Amino acid sequence: LTSASTRSALHVIHIAAEMAPVAKVGGLGDVVTGLGKALQKKGHLVEIILPKYDCMQYDLIHNLRALDVEVESYFDGQLYKNKIWIGTVEGLPVYFVEPYHPDKFFWRGQFYGENDDFKRFSFFSRAALELLLQAGKKPDIIHCHDWQTAFVAPLYWDLYASKGLNSARICFTCHNFEYQGTAPAPELASCGLDVYQLNRPDRMQDNSAHDRINAVKGAVVFSNIVTTVSPTYAQEVRSPEGGRGLHSTLNSHSKKFIGILNGIDTDTWNPSTDSRIEVQYNSSDLQGKAANKQALRRRLGLLLSDSTRPLVACQQFLIAAISSFLVEQIGCITRLVPQKGVHLIRHAIYRTIELGGQFVLLGSSPVHHIQREFEGIASQFQNDDNVRLILKYDELLSRSIYAASDIFIIPSIFEPCGLTQMIAMRYGAIPIARKTGGLNDSVFDVDDETIPPEFRNGFTFLSPDEQGFNGALDRAIQYYKNDRESWEHLVQKVMNMDFSWESSAEQYEELYVKSVTRARAAKRA
């Protein structure tokens, strides 16, 4: 950063489909809020634009009110009015777009999973830009996220820059290349983009189905800055296996593409102030963690005081290993999708029992057969003393599980960044993670002598099979049972590690400033 550029605050607009805690499905929601707050703290003006969903947590939006103006935006050959609401979420100003469209785009009782998702979010992307234009805003950066708002990049450069909304550079962050937002090419015309111009191999045409448009590809091609959420994942997606068809596009645009590890919002995720857990605690007073372990056991009807069992938790599944009593509590909290290694999560339940631990899983699945399979396992264990599966999305319970777990599993097949390992460590749960994507950039094996000791913080494995996983779980449980003092030191160490947004937000700031400075210099020349 040049000293001149650090002095001038940037105006940054995030256009996104999620924002924690009001509209959150997964990590995307956490990132929009966490990065937004961190940039605001650095003195930048940060504003967010979200759809006004019916299923948001309205009680967490402060001072929500409708603005007098209505914004008209184009869709499918017509103009539609949008009511614009404004409110504050976690200290950030947020605009909510409510379309007056007969299809009631965001009035569906769920965020995603509708047949017309492509249409709903291309509508939203255009309405958000229309809002900026009509409000006369002159942002320096428009930051869009994932396929839902990827349309912003081509819309901005093809339509809006010439209408006068031309002050901004476009930054696109892909949180998961598995989801690319493809549709038959003619559908792109609905939001006013020119299908004939864009359905080309060097623009928005899907790399494998040539009669389809790919929204994420469009954002990669048209944005000034393209990021993904960890350095390792940024490497992985440039290979044919990792890129899900987009590796060649990413390689041709590699100069503007970089991986920045996400942080977590350390104000929200803080066991010493978290009023939603049973007892607050910190790294120099782990008694509180023990109390949370007991409280979760009581709440879930798990065996209370067999003092030799760890609780293993996973955020989609909570295998929490609770260290105060020698029963390890293993936790897992996760969306139950193939990416997360569901077969290893299932295996972990049985292996934990064999090894004498307790396992808690909190997770839900949009995939019907996976949800049914886990419902079967949940009912098999419904009266068991040591295993509990809770198959829903429940943020409050997730906090209790993080606080109660001794060990937390993240056995993902691939993982762009992963936040649960960082939250788990903040709450003193030791991660067991597969070495992939952002897990590879944040979890370092306690036995890996190539890693400086101060960074070693968990147990890792490479091979995505039962044997690979057992290697890490068995070591973790041995460690927990055999060397209590070292375990406690490890817990204290991981709780004190810095997973805040501080340094990641600085990297985004640097990218923004460079891009803005370059554009201004080019304009002057």
User: Counting contacts by CB under 6 A, is residue 335 touching ligand ADP?
Assistant: yes
Q: Which stretch binds ligand ADP (CB under 6 A): 26-34, 124-132, 195-203, 239-247?
A: 26-34
The residue of the chain with the least Cβ separation from ligand ADP equals: 27
Tokens of 196: 């004939």
Window 302-321: residues binding ligand ADP (CB under 6 A): 315-316
Cα radius of gyration rounded to whole Å, the chain: 23
Alpha helices in 105-151 (DSSP H): 117-134
Q: Which stretch binds ligand ADP (CB under 6 A): 121-129, 135-143, 332-340, 444-452?
A: 332-340
3-state SS assignment for residue 198: helix
Tokens of 307: 């003092």
DSSP structure string for 211-238: TEEEHHHHHHHH-SEEEES-HHHHHHTT
Show the binding pattern over residues 367-396: x = contacts ligand ADP (CB under 6 A), - = does not: --------------------------xxx-
Q: For ligand ADP, which residue of 362, 433, 443, 490 counts as binding (CB under 6 A)? A: 362
Distance CA 252, CA 258 (A): 13
User: Counting contacts by CB under 6 A, is residue 268 touching ligand ADP?
Assistant: no
Q: For ligand ADP, which residue of 319, 320, 333, 407 counts as binding (CB under 6 A)? A: 333
DSSP structure string for 309-360: B-EEEEESS--B--SSSSB-EEEEEEE-SGGG-HHHHHHHHHHHHHTT-EEE
Smallest distance, Å, CB 427 to ligand ADP?
11
Tokens of 55: 């299923």
Closer by beta carbon to ligand ADP, 333 or else 432: 333
Closer by beta carbon to ligand ADP, 124 or else 374: 374
Smallest distance, Å, CB 333 to ligand ADP?
5
User: Counting contacts by CB under 6 A, is residue 334 touching ligand ADP?
Assistant: yes
Smallest distance, Å, CB 398 to ligand ADP?
4
Region label for 200, one of left (φ > 0), alpha (ψ between -120 and 50) or beta (otherwise): beta
Q: Which stretch binds ligand ADP (CB under 6 A): 42-50, 124-132, 164-172, 356-364?
A: 356-364
Window 432-491: residues binding ligand ADP (CB under 6 A): none
Q: Is the peptide bond before 21 cis (omega within 30 degrees of 0)?
A: yes
Nearest to 233 by CA among 423, 434, 36: 434
User: Counting contacts by CB under 6 A, is residue 30 touching ligand ADP?
Assistant: yes
Distance CA 421, CA 428 (A): 10
Closer by beta carbon to ligand ADP, 394 or else 488: 394
Closer by beta carbon to ligand ADP, 159 or else 345: 345
E strands present in 323-423: 329-335, 358-364, 387-390, 407-410
Q: Which stretch binds ligand ADP (CB under 6 A): 133-141, 200-208, 329-337, 424-432?
A: 329-337
Beta 62-75 vs 78-89: how paired, if at all? antiparallel
CA–chain centroid gap for 271, Å, is: 20
Window 395-424: residues binding ligand ADP (CB under 6 A): 395, 398, 417-420, 423
In the complex, the residues that contact ligand ADP under the rule CB under 6 A are 26-27, 30, 315-316, 333-335, 362-364, 393-395, 398, 417-420, 423
